[in-house]
């Protein structure tokens, strides 16, 4: 059985995605979560309300931080009402004996205020070692209060989980509304927790498969143009342009890691092949050929390889080839039909959808096809996407009937499945990188 262990050691790294920070010198000891598998116990953590000239605002920011850490599955935030102190104090050393007496090992003290700018400070303590883990200060514009909470969450996660966080990130998805027989599908973007939704398209044309570039600056998607799907690209919030002209049907786009190229599929006469084209008007290059249906390409994080779906062996399976095409090797050999592969940002896993035994599964495998693990098995689940640190997968599920799809997340050990609440039906998520 795998287990979560706790140990003390020197750690210098803090979370990326900070707007502005001034870090204190880390202590020589800290509590660190070591995750080696799915059967571990989340770490209890105490997060009193943040001190603030506006107590309601301080409580709001602290609750967002608690919610973020709880959703990760690695932490169990304790009930604030049960803590020795209901409000944090970043200016003084805690009474460690009192906190240890309340069975608190990891303690977060925060402060946040807003005026012309939002300012925040946070300190993370290891109560057993009576030592500070991390200390930071942040600043942001007045409209970024939730983002401050996400950045603080990332710093806490990084100091205790031995990895960068993923909370200061966004997800593009398809927002669906209206009756099932005539549903409007619009591109939208939201924070990773479902807040701050912004609709990006009018819904006049059917839009699908939104994908962000690694720097979060561009979006590629499929829109139905005169009844046929075509790939479009745009700066996020900017004017769209068709990626290539004169293709009967183009769809399923994915950016290369440097954002200069989009891989996609072109269908013509019952045959579908994978192409790549530069986002600035470079001509398309054909990467696969033959009589099969090759689709859903996704680059590896280093840009050297592409995983894709193909029925060249009789039914859809997953293959990996070089980014320039050729030399494709099959990597999936399980029962059923494999589709929608996506590479983890770390390069260690590929997630996919599998249809088998009358149900849908979300699974992962290593890039060589070994280590296959089913994370989700249900009536309808598809379209996985990894968070920035590769430890959580988001996907969508449709329960059928007169309802519509919803977004869910699950960690890479198949634990902690939960719904991401959105104001509309939602499908086809794509999780962006940490914001700069």
Torsions phi, psi for 289 (to 5 deg): -150, 160
pLDDT for 250? 96
Torsions phi, psi for 32 (to 5 deg): -125, 135
Mean pLDDT of 30-55: 79
Q: How far apart are CA 140 and CA 70, in angstroms?
A: 24
Statement to judge: residues 234 and 251 lie in one domain: yes
Q: Which domain holds residue 405?
A: 170-431
CATH number at residue 414: 2.120.10.30
Mean pLDDT of 256-263: 97
In a domain, 131, yes or no: yes
Mean pLDDT of 199-222: 95
CATH number at residue 109: 3.40.50.10070
Q: 125, 142, 161 — which closes off a domain?
A: 161
pLDDT for 58? 97
Phi-psi region of 214 (alpha: psi -120 to 50; beta: other; left: phi over 0): alpha
Task: Give yes or no for a contact between 120 and 137, defined as CB atoms under 8 angstroms apart.
Answer: yes
Beta pairing, strands 184-191 & 170-177? antiparallel
pLDDT for 22? 33
Q: Give the chain's domain count.
A: 2
Statement to judge: residues 249 and 384 lie in one domain: yes
In a domain, 322, yes or no: yes
Statement to judge: residues 174 and 157 lie in one domain: no
pLDDT for 37? 61
Statement to judge: residues 213 and 355 lie in one domain: yes
pLDDT class for 2, splitting at 50, 70, 90?
A: very low
352, β-bridge pairs? 363
Statement to judge: residues 122 and 181 lie in one domain: no
Closest CA to 309 of 229, 206, 376, 383: 383
111-159 per-position pLDDT tens digit: 999 988 899 999 999 999 999 999 999 888 888 889 999 999 999 999 9
Its pTM stands at 0.90
385, β-bridge pairs? 394
Place of tokens 């996407």: 385
Task: Give yes or no for a contact between 27 and 129, defined as CB atoms under 8 angstroms apart.
Answer: yes
């Amino acid at each position: 059985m795998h287990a979560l262990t706790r140990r003390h050691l020197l750690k210098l790294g803090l979370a990326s995605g900070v707007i502005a920070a001034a870090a204190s010198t880390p202590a020589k000891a800290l509590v660190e979560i070591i995750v080696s598998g799915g059967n571990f116990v989340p770490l209890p953590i105490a997060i009193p309300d943040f001190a603030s000239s506006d107590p309601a605002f301080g409580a709001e920011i602290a609750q967002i931080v608690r919610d973020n850490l709880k959703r990760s599955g690695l932490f169990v935030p304790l009930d604030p009402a049960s803590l020795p102190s209901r409000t944090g104090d970043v200016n003084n050393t805690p009474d460690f004996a009192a906190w240890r007496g309340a069975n608190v090992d990891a303690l977060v003290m925060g402060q946040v205020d807003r005026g012309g700018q939002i300012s925040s400070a946070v300190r993370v303590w290891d109560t057993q070692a009576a030592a500070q883990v991390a200390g930071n200060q942040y600043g942001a514009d007045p409209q970024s209060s939730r983002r401050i909470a996400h950045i603080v969450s990332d710093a806490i996660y990084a100091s205790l989980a031995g990895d960068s966080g993923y909370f200061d990130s966004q997800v593009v998805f398809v927002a669906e509304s209206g009756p099932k027989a005539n549903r409007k599908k619009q591109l939208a973007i939201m924070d990773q927790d479902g807040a701050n939704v912004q609709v990006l398209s009018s819904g006049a044309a059917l839009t699908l498969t939104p994908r962000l570039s690694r720097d979060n600056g561009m979006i590629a998607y499929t829109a139905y143009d005169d009844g046929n799907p075509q790939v479009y690209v745009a700066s996020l919030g900017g004017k769209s342009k068709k990626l290539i002209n004169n293709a009967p049907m183009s769809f399923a786009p994915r950016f290369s890691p440097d954002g200069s190229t989009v891989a996609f599929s072109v269908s013509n006469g019952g045959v579908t092949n994978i192409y790549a084209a530069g986002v600035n008007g470079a001509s398309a290059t054909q990467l696969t050929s033959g009589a099969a249906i090759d689709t859903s390409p996704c680059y590896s994080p280093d840009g050297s390889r592409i995983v894709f779906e193909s029925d060249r062996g009789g039914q859809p399976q997953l293959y990996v080839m070089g980014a320039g095409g050729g030399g494709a090797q099959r990597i999936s050999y399980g029962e059923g039909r494999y589709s929608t592969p996506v590479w983890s940002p770390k390069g260690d896993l590929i997630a996919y959808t599998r249809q088998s035994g009358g149900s849908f599964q979300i699974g992962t495998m290593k890039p060589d096809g070994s280590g296959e693990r089913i994370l989700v098995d249900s009536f309808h689940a598809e379209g996985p996407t990894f968070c920035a640190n590769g430890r959580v997968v988001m996907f969508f599920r449709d329960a059928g009937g007169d309802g519509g799809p919803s977004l869910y997340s699950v960690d890479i050990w198949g634990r902690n499945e939960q719904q991401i609440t959105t104001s509309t039906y939602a499908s086809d998520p794509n999780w962006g990188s940490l914001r700069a």
